[in-house]
């Protein structure tokens, strides 16, 4: 981070304790508006500065303000990653949901950590499973932690990559579910050795 960026953050850190919530809200809106207006043109260093500033400003925001922020940032391809991580981990799905199902900039590591929590909210798994693109590391966790509906959502998503282990976990637990078996069979990435199990279910 440049000396100029460090100076901006130091000045903000000094001012924040003395400022009322209304000031934080107004500044956050202006900062987010500025970011969204030029997001496509900003480089990594500039986005990182926005990230640090917004993270500081949202610390005392209520859930309605955070939900609004989530909806504004979620569609942006280069949205600030620390902000996304904070919003994605919020306990209110109105805040975390838009980030989990839309934000391309949210790292797979964040998705995996959130999905693999003890007693994870099923609604969060639904949001993650709805993403336009999913890598195998994420679908492995979703298949392990999710129910049949989550598994079906993944299978129906042509852009959701599924590992051999993931396919095996679903197929060996079909329990005669021919609809799910048919959906799996329609995919062209099912390992050949697992198609034998599918044929058993479909042939019953």
Q: Is 103 left (phi over 0), alpha (psi -120 to 50) or beta?
A: beta
For residue 203, how many other CB atoms are within 10 A of its CB? 8
Residue pointed to by tokens 């392990």: 144
pLDDT of res. 196: 86
Measuring CA to CA, which residue among 189, 188, 155 is closest to residue 170?
155
> Do residues 203 and 197 touch, judged by C-beta distance below 8 A?
no
Closest CA to 65 of 6, 34, 92, 25: 25
What residues does each domain of the chain span? 1-95, 107-204
Residues 6+ apart with CB under 8 A from 108: 135, 137, 138
pTM > 0.75: yes or no: yes
Q: Which residues of the chain have pLDDT under 70?
A: 1-5, 7, 9, 13-15, 204
Each residue's pLDDT tens digit, 142-184 = 999 989 999 999 999 999 999 999 999 999 888 888 999 999 9
Residue in the block written with tokens 């904070």: 86
Instruction: Count Cα neighbours of 79 within 13 Å in the Cβ-side half-sphere.
Output: 28
- Give the pLDDT of residue 204: 58
pLDDT of res. 72: 97
């Amino acid at each position: 981070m440049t000396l100029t960026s460090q100076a901006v953050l130091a000045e903000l850190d000094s001012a924040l304790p003395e400022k009322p919530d209304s000031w934080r809200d107004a500044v956050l809106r202006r900062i987010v508006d500025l970011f969204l207006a030029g997001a496509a043109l900003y480089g990594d260093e500039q986005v990182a500065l926005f990230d640090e500033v917004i993270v500081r400003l949202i610390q005392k925001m209520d859930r309605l303000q955070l939900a609004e922020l989530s909806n504004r940032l979620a569609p942006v391809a280069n949205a600030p990653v620390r902000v996304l991580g904070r919003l994605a981990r919020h306990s209110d799905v109105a805040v975390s949901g838009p980030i989990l199902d839309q934000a391309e900039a949210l790292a797979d590591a964040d998705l995996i950590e959130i999905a693999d929590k003890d007693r994870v909210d099923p609604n969060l798994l639904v949001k993650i499973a709805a993403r336009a693109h999913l890598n195998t590391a994420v679908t492995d966790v979703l298949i392990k932690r999710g129910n049949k509906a989550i598994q079906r959502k993944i299978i129906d998503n042509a852009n959701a990559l599924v590992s051999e282990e993931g396919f095996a976990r679903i197929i060996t637990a079909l329990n005669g579910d021919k609809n799910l078996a048919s959906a799996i069979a329609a995919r062209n990435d099912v390992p050949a050795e697992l198609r034998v199990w599918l044929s058993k279910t479909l042939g019953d």
